[in-house]
Amino acid sequence: MTIKISIVTITFNLLKAGRKDMFRKNVASVLNQTYQNIEHIIVDGASTDGTVDLIRSCEHDRMRWISEPDHGIYEAMNKGLHIATGDYVLYLNSDDFLCRPDGMASCVRLLEETNADFLYAPHRVLRAGTECVYKIMEPCLGVYFVRMPFSHQALLVKRDKMLELGGFDENFKSAGDYDFIIRLITAGAKGVYNPNEFSTFRDGGFSQTDGELSQKECGISYRKNFGHLCPKYRWMDMLFKKRVPNSVIQYVLKHVDKAVKAQIEKVLETARYEKDDTWCIQEKPKALTFPLNRKQGNYVDRLKLFGFIPIGKIEATAHQSIYKLFNRPIWKWKRGV
């Protein structure tokens, strides 16, 4: 089977936003892929600043485009989904680009081997206003219920699966992609990880420039998808503090793909279980400091009683020892909702 990829880019008044050269780089990065079975779909929101002429100047035989009014980002993204004819869809913003000519080829090989519902990968991040890569964002699928586990610029999803889930919820202005990822993973979709980054994302997008709206909408999405499990929970507090109701954890462990479940359980190994039946997601082991005296063993033994597991002394001075600790109340995972 030869997999066809649809790459969707949405645009609006690019010249006014100073994105002319960025868009050209976006188009060139798609055109220069060694894997050729790709269509590039441009969905323009009826730009009035010359963007349509820019799109025409970049047009090639594997590009299709439309320019018509829309009511926001996610309506435009859904238009691209319905226009697409590929087996998998990637959303690549107008100021982002594919960073390796062989990037899509490596993705297709994995998808042919696994027939996964989606593929995710690390992505490079450019600091706003520069061309310097300042970090590589590594995905973490197991924390999808408290934050974006990966960037949508490094996510390929089966078109049929997206249509089955209804695409993006157009009521959102900022967090529609996060809402979709929650629905995708909770539906038991099978994912495959590509360890090689293939896309580059520019810092400073809409969700970052209006962080308050983005955070609020993430809370709305969380309540929309999990609210039936604990309707009295304080959703915004959960997002800021990464506190997840135990009932949500139990629910997702029953519904997600087994590979996702394994990653969630790995995250829970570093989590703290609290008295109000919530998990505090830490993601990384904690380092705790103890006085260096004869009673040090008592400190460690006491921690064991509360579920903390010392995994080794990582530093010792004349006055103190530092232990790296996991909090692993594994029995909590087995408990009924």
User: Which tokens hold the place of 119?
Assistant: 């593929």
- Residues 10 and 40 sit within 8 Å (Cβ to Cβ): no
Q: Where are the beta strands (DSSP E) in the chain?
A: 5-11, 38-44, 63-67, 88-91, 97-98, 118-120, 123-126, 133-137, 155-158, 191-193, 199-202, 243-245, 272-273, 278-280, 286-291, 308-316, 320-327
CA angle 276, 280, 286 (to 5 degrees): 130
Q: What is the CA radius of gyration of the chain?
A: 23
Q: What is the spatial distance between Cα 265 and Cα 94, in angstroms, rounded to a whole number? A: 36
Give residue-wise pLDDT tens across range 81-127.
Answer: 999 999 999 999 999 999 999 999 999 999 999 999 999 999 988 87
**Cα distance between residue 140 and residue 137, in whole Å:** 9
Q: Determine the pLDDT at residue 44.
A: 98
The answer, yes or no, to whether residue 337 has pLDDT greater than 50, is no
pLDDT of residue 242: 85
Bridge partners of 159, per DSSP, are none
Indicate whether 230 pLDDT > 80.
yes
Residue 48 pLDDT > 80? yes
Query: Is 298 a residue whose pLDDT tops 70?
Result: no
pLDDT at 268: 86
Round to whole Å and give the CA distance between 257 and 193: 14
